[in-house]
Amino acid sequence: MAEAAVKAALRALNPATNEHFGPSFPEPSAAQIEAACAAAAAAFDTYRETDLETRAAFLEAIAAEIEALGDELIQTAMAETGLPQARITGERGRTTGQLRLFAQVVRRGDWIGARIDPAMPERTPLPRADLRQRFIPLGPVVVFGASNFPLAFSTGGGDTASALAAGCPVIVKGHSAHPNTGAMIGGAIDKAVKAAGLPAGVFALLIGQQRTLGAGLVADPRIKAVGFTGSRAGGVAFMRIAAERREPIPVFAEMSSINPVVLMPAALAARAEALGTAFIGSLTMGAGQFCTNPGLVFALDGPDLDRFEAAATAALTAAQPQVMLTPGIFGAYEQGVNQLLDRDGVKLLARGCVGDGVNQAVGALFSVDAETFQRDAVLSHEVFGSSSLIVRVKDAGQLAEVLEGLEGQLTATLQMDPADAEAARPLLPILERKAGRILANGWPTGVEVSNAMVHGGPFPATSDPRGTSVGTRAIERFLRPVCYQDIPDTLLPAALKADNPLGVRRAIDGVL
């Protein structure tokens, strides 16, 4: 309550002008939070047993309702985030595409994971019971979206889509940096809930800015899992709350990653200039506000790396400043860059162009030798924005050593030519242990929503390395297996009945 007294009522802020606009969003009351949790719990048993077609059509209806919001949604998201039209329009397509992809997953029914080990009454020395297994959803899920993806990682984003696909009611804690965008998407989901005739508790949006709101939701005993995208501090706070509950629950938090890029020698010799320019393109895209931004570059010290640095320096020096998402994120970026400027042994290579608007990020590129990098843990902390550090290594052994010392990452990239293959081979096991996605000759920014994508990785990239928050596997985070032993056919769930009325794929004695 003390915190509530000092914070002004939540209103949207345009980061390009620092002006507030639109309606005030009163902080949700304790009664509203209680009602949302109670409704979600009450809706769970009905929603989780909706037939596959109803649930798939519901997800498709959400996508259609989001599209029906038209240009007003695009303009609202642009005003609240400072992100350009093309980016927001693309993100809307990704968001609706993601919902439709999960509709296909639901219809296919593979996620049910049906397995049947038929009874073996004659087995000796002991008969085997009839064992049938399927996945069921965990229960109501609380979702926290991130400021940098107001559509694809927020109210109607990947966590919401995958939890709803799994059969979990969802309560979204609306992000304070884009409340109007959140409210519009929340309204679209509400419409789809009504049109499908589902219980109202299947979805709720609570927009607020007090820490007690999110903390209270995660602590509520009716909540059974958390999906989070955002800062390391936020994710870790929720991991702690979830672990200290009487019934601890899983937290799937996507947090912090600096996405190392390794420039292999033959690739660097062949195309140092092109790599330097492309690297700055990836670094400065969207003011560097991507969790997959390339924040660290490793390469052998020498003239080819000098060429790469010169090209990157030239490209960054010409890069225009861009508005960041919020004054807070801009402030944190400035602080991160200033900290690097002050670090012993770190050399500033280039800054981008300075603008005259507010909250504008000026890109920053630094270089350091590997010994200094290994000594100073601060140098591998994420600076959210267009700042990156080039680490000069002496030889292949030192490269392996510095990679070994890295924390968990969402991505790791190898820029390599065919002649680099043998030198890259021993690095792969290291990168597999460090990252959720390993790329060759691309840049980590840009995450495809597909079946094979992994947007995850060991801590602190995420709180749980076993999952992904992007792609169809994201549904698995919100499911758990239940085994039915000798349960009569009339009582079995449809997916496990003798005549397989859903027609889903099942493994009988381990064979599909």
# chain residues binding ligand NAP, by CB under 6 A: 27
CA 371 to chain centroid:
32
Q: Is 254 marked active-site? A: yes
| Stretch of 131-139, 144-152, 158-166, 385-393 lying at the interface with ligand NAP (CB under 6 A) | 144-152
Near ligand NAP by CB under 6 A: residue from 230, 276, 321, 458: 230
Measure CA of the first residue to CA of the last residue in the chain; give whole Å. 56
Residue type, position 85, single letter: Q
| Stretch of 124-132, 180-188, 226-234, 370-378 lying at the interface with ligand NAP (CB under 6 A) | 226-234
Catalytic residue among 65, 80, 91, 254: 254
Q: Phi first, then psi: give them for residue 460, nearest 5 degrees.
A: -95, 10
Q: Are 362 and 387 in contact (CB under 8 A)?
A: no
Site for ligand NAP in 463-502 (CB under 6 A): none
| Stretch of 251-259, 264-272, 299-307, 488-496 lying at the interface with ligand NAP (CB under 6 A) | 251-259
| Stretch of 78-86, 147-155, 180-188, 267-275 lying at the interface with ligand NAP (CB under 6 A) | 147-155
Q: Is 291 marked active-site? A: yes
CB of 470 to ligand NAP, least distance (A): 8
Q: Are 199 and 176 in contact (CB under 8 A)?
A: no
CA 75 to chain centroid:
24
As a whole number of angstroms, the distance between CA 457 and CA 439 comes to 14
Strand partners, 373: none
The residue (of 50 and 231) whose beta carbon lies closer to ligand NAP is 231
As a whole number of angstroms, the distance between CA 60 and CA 102 comes to 9
Site for ligand NAP in 379-438 (CB under 6 A): 382, 384, 410
Residue 287-326 contact track with ligand NAP, rule CB under 6 A, x = bound: ----x-----------------------------------
Give residue for tokens 């229960």: 139
The residue (of 352 and 460) whose beta carbon lies closer to ligand NAP is 460
Question: Tell me, what DSSP letter sits at residue 511?
Answer: B
Binding to ligand NAP by residue 143, rule CB under 6 A? no
The residue (of 109 and 230) whose beta carbon lies closer to ligand NAP is 230
What is the four-CA torsion angle of 428, 429, 431, 436, rounded to 10 degrees?
Answer: 110
Near ligand NAP by CB under 6 A: residue from 59, 61, 106, 146: 146
Binding to ligand NAP by residue 153, rule CB under 6 A? yes
| Stretch of 43-51, 88-96, 211-219, 428-436 lying at the interface with ligand NAP (CB under 6 A) | 211-219
Strand partners, 171: 142, 204
How many Cα atoms sit within 13 Å of 428 on the Cβ side?
9
Q: Which two tokens stand for residue 99?
A: 């919902």
Q: Are 219 and 188 in contact (CB under 8 A)?
A: no
Q: Are 465 and 436 in contact (CB under 8 A)?
A: yes
Catalytic residue among 291, 309, 334, 382: 291
Give the DSSP per-residue string, 162-189.
Answer: HHHHHT--EEEEE-TTSHHHHHHHHHHH
The residue (of 263 and 291) whose beta carbon lies closer to ligand NAP is 291
As a whole number of angstroms, the distance between CA 197 and CA 61 comes to 12
Binding to ligand NAP by residue 215, rule CB under 6 A? yes
The residue (of 25 and 44) whose beta carbon lies closer to ligand NAP is 25
The residue (of 28 and 276) whose beta carbon lies closer to ligand NAP is 28
Preceding peptide of 121 cis, ω within 30°: no
In a 3-state reduction of DSSP, which class is residue 306?
Answer: helix
The residue (of 133 and 388) whose beta carbon lies closer to ligand NAP is 388
Binding to ligand NAP by residue 96, rule CB under 6 A? no
Binding to ligand NAP by residue 449, rule CB under 6 A? no
Positions that interact with ligand NAP (CB under 6 A): 144, 146-149, 153, 173, 175-176, 209, 211, 214-215, 229-231, 234, 237, 254-257, 291, 329, 382, 384, 410
The catalytic residues are 254, 291
